[in-house]
Every structure is written in structure tokens, then in C-alpha cells.
A = this chain, B = another copy of it.
Amino acid sequence: MATIIDGRSLAKTINTQTSKRVAKLNQQGIHPGIAVVIAGDDSASLIYTRNKHKKAMKLGINSVLKKYPFNVSQDELLAEIDKLNKDDSIDAILVQQPMPPQIDSRIITNAISPEKDVDGLNPLNLGKLFANQNTNYPIACTPRGIMRMLEEYNVKLKGQNVVIIGRSILVGKPLLALLNNADATVTMAGRSTTNLSRLTQTADILIVAAGVPHLISAKDIKAGATVIDVGINRLSTGKLTGDVDFDSAKEKAGLITPVPGGVGPMTIATLMEQTVDLAQWRHHG
């Protein structure tokens, strides 16, 4: 029976630290601020955005929401990003995905100033991460949150076999860089991977970010492995479930994250933490 990683509790600890840091910065006249740009009425996106907004306000971080209609043009969004880049009260800019089809997300995220790129999506920040540069730069929040969980639960990384399922720029790729930088032996798998189960059974640490409900179950897991489930899938019953069949997997894994209550809360806590980092770096270098 695995130890269950308590993402909610760890997120709470981080949030407490973050709000203390905000209070301290306020005394120096620095007021961290985040702007979230959203287009359209996707209900899941609206909920996520509102949650981020509430959490920011609760921690003392200024939060502004830039809401655009579904038919917004690329130029309008680029003009907004440009304004936010120049706005001294804004330290962090986040563009809520998905964007409407007429928008090239890549062009929008590339336009965010690397210093305010709280999602770590600008290629300059991604490149610094892969180059393992020892300077300050933002890192995608979900991967950074996962690394924090692994650290908190004393999971050894050096020389360990890690398998990451999912190659997204928001999760899989930054994780690949972080774990390579930590001297793990990392394999990145995707849809075209053959013999996935044989591969995952070699993993000391298995990270699943495939967006496929219950892709992984006990039979795919090495006994005692650490299993991190990044999936958040809503079943037809309305219930949230991960990419891992938690009930069977928890009997075989050594450490495992639940869904909900695992990676999710850590992502929002890390977003807030990194917003404060960006404010601090921008004002103190």
C-alpha cells in the first residue's frame, strides 16, 4: 500500500510562505501582480481562471483579468500583451489555454516578455532550462510543483529511471529538462511509443501526463515506484479522475499522487509562488 502524496497540504504550506513573502515585499513598496488573459467562454477555463484570481487575492497578490470575446483578433491580443509587458504593476502574465482557433497560441506566448512569462513557455526560458543555466528564470508551474513534491517526499532522482508519458511544452518537456538536470535517466514516451507497459514497468519514477483516463494501472507499474498523475479527466458522471487507475495502482506503488488533491493544488500554489519570484527578480535582480 503506497504512501499517498498530499498535494493539498504541501500547497497550503507553500501558500503560507508566499503570503508572508508578499507582506514583506509590500513593506518595501513592491506589490506583486499577475494578469490573466482569457478569450471566449469555455466554462472550464473560466472556472480555472476564477480560482487563480481568488487564490491570488487571498495571498495579497494583485490580480487582473483581461477577458476577450471568442472572436478576438490576434492583433488585439498582441496589443494587450504588449501593454502588459510595459505595465510596471504587472510581474506575471498568463494566457489561459485553449485560445480560439483563429489565434496562434505560439505567437501570443512568444510575445510575453521572458521576465513576465510565469508559465515558462517563452522559448528563451525553456532553452535556459534545457541548458541548465544557473540564473533566475521562470519554469512551467506544474513541472516545478512536481519537483517540489518529489523533493518534499525525499524521492531520490540521481541515477533513477524516470519515464514521462506526454510531450507537451507545459508539462512533459520542462519535466524532461528538470529531471535530466537532476541526473536521472529519463525516457520520454508519447502516443507513438510501442510496448508502453514494458517501458513503464522499468520506471522508478513514472509521470503520466497523457490526458487518457486510467491509461496506467497496477500491471504497468514497478513495485514500489513513485507514480505522479498529472491527468485531470472529467468522467461522464461528472467525477474527476486521473490518467492512473488510483485504486489498483496504490496497492503496488511506493508513493502516489491522488486526483484530485495531488498535482493540481501544487500547480496553483507554484503559480502564486513564481509570481512573487518574478516580482522579486524584477525589483531586486
| CB-based contact B130/A130 at 8 Å | yes
A126 within 8 A of B: yes
Kindly state the separation between the CA atoms of A191 and B125 in the bound complex, as whole angstroms: 26
| CB-based contact B192/A185 at 8 Å | yes
Q: Which residues of chain B come closer than 8 Å to A190, judged between CB atoms?
A: 180, 183, 185
| CB-based contact A159/B127 at 8 Å | no
Which residues of A (190-222) have their CB < 8 Å from a CB of B?
190-194, 199
* Cβ distance A212 to chain B, nearest Cβ, rounded Å: 17
Q: Give the contacting residue for A127; candidates B127, B167, B185, B186; CB below 8 A.
A: B127
Q: Which residues of chain B come closer than 8 Å to A2, judged between CB atoms?
A: none
Q: Which residues of chain B come closer than 8 Å to A65, judged between CB atoms?
A: none
Q: How large is the interface on A (under 10, 10 to 19, 20 to 34, 35 or more residues)?
A: 20 to 34
A44 within 8 A of B: no
Kindly state the separation between the CA atoms of A223 and B183 in the bound complex, as whole angstroms: 28
A189 within 8 A of B: yes
* Cβ distance A120 to chain B, nearest Cβ, rounded Å: 10
Residue of B nearest to A109 (CB): B131
A86 within 8 A of B: no
| CB-based contact B189/A188 at 8 Å | no
A158 within 8 A of B: yes
15 further contact pairs, Cβ within 8 A, besides A184-B192, A185-B190: A122-B127, A123-B128, A123-B130, A123-B133, A125-B127, A126-B126, A126-B131, A127-B127, A130-B169, A130-B177, A159-B192, A159-B194, A173-B180, A180-B190, A185-B194
Measuring CB to CB, which residues of chain A are less than 8 angstroms from any residue of chain B? 106, 121-128, 130-131, 133, 158-159, 161, 167, 169, 173, 176-177, 180, 183-194, 199
